Amino acid sequence: MNTIKLFETSQVRSQWDAEKEAWFFSIVDVVAVLTDSPNPRTYWSVLKNRLKKEGSELATNCSQLKMKSADGKNYLTDVADTEQLLRLIQSIPSPKAEPFKQWLARVGYERIEETEDPELAIDRPRATYLKKGYSKDWNNQRLTSIEVRKDLTDEWENRGVKQGQEFAILTDEITKAWSGLSTRQYRQHKDLKKENLRDHMTNMELVLNMLAEATTTEISREKLPAGFDESLEIAQQGGTIAGNTRKAIEAKSGKPIISSRNAKRLK
């Protein structure tokens, strides 16, 4: 899916990669917006060389995608994902880039604060969800789900499961077992892309997801699986228990629990 992101009065071309689950943005367009340069392509070329001298691999690692140009034709264009884009902004000396730099500095400072006082890492999400318009009841439910999730990932680490791909596969198995949808299908059902799926669940969806993850944790602590393969089987068991609960509730209520509503409609 291709879209155009508006930044003030200028256009930044962007493209969503469903496989990588990431947005990619035209670097030339971002440079044009932040610098008001009459020739953003030349500016980007000069900036590439400076980044290389600084030891940054951004210019080397950035990808190219075909994007529609002003003449209506598609041309290969240098693009950056969100992380690369934020790194790029740090190297652009411009008043328009300064608010982004200040925000990055603030976020970095907050992470350091959380290292010294971990309780802040709990308080900030609570305040953030309330600012976004979620109800207090949903907020409490969501924060509980974070604790349940942390217990599960800690257990996986204890069992020798690797963060990243293996965590993602196990999570997907739990989700499929309790909801009948893979994580990607569930996101599509709610019209989501990069957003956190749990932030868009109803209270009942959150409860069943917590049940699936908490059950998986308890079974794992009892059976002590060795590594990923044995943990995969337990993930399926934990998810299936919550899945059976979902089916029983749906049979009695006559209504499906899996909802297409995302956060906008939940609020």
The pTM for the full model equals: 0.67
Tell me how far CA of residue 230 lies from CA of 26, 59, 181, 237, 240, in angstroms.
Answer: 43, 42, 22, 11, 16
pLDDT, residue 7, reads 57
Q: If 0-12 CB within 10 Å is exposed, 13-18 middle and 19+ buried, where does residue 181 land?
A: middle
Contact status, residue 171 vs residue 232, Cβ threshold 8 Å: no
Euclidean distance between CA atoms 51 and 27, whole angstroms? 14
pLDDT tens, position by position, 31-68: 998 888 899 999 999 999 888 888 888 878 888 999 98
Work out the pLDDT band at 136, boundaries 50, 70, 90: confident
* Residue ranges of domains in the chain: 2-92, 121-266
Work out the pLDDT band at 185, boundaries 50, 70, 90: very high
pLDDT, residue 222, reads 96
Contact status, residue 120 vs residue 110, Cβ threshold 8 Å: yes
Euclidean distance between CA atoms 237 and 160, whole angstroms? 19
Work out the pLDDT band at 201, boundaries 50, 70, 90: very high
Instruction: Indicate the residue type of 133.
Output: G
pLDDT tens, position by position, 116-134: 877 777 777 777 887 888 8
The DSSP bridge partners found for residue 75 are: 67
How many other C-beta atoms can be found within 10 angstroms of the C-beta atom of residue 202?
16
Q: State mean pLDDT over 149-161.
A: 96
More confident residue, 221 or 54: 221
Contact status, residue 57 vs residue 45, Cβ threshold 8 Å: no
Taking Cα atoms as reference points, which of 221, 88, 246, 239 lies closest to residue 159?
Answer: 221
pLDDT, residue 1, reads 41
- Does pLDDT of 16 surpass 70? yes
The DSSP bridge partners found for residue 7 are: 10
Tokens 């400072």 map to which residue? Answer: 109
Euclidean distance between CA atoms 165 and 41, whole angstroms? 37
Euclidean distance between CA atoms 258 and 211, whole angstroms? 15
Residues 6+ apart with CB under 8 A from 262: 190, 191, 192, 195, 200
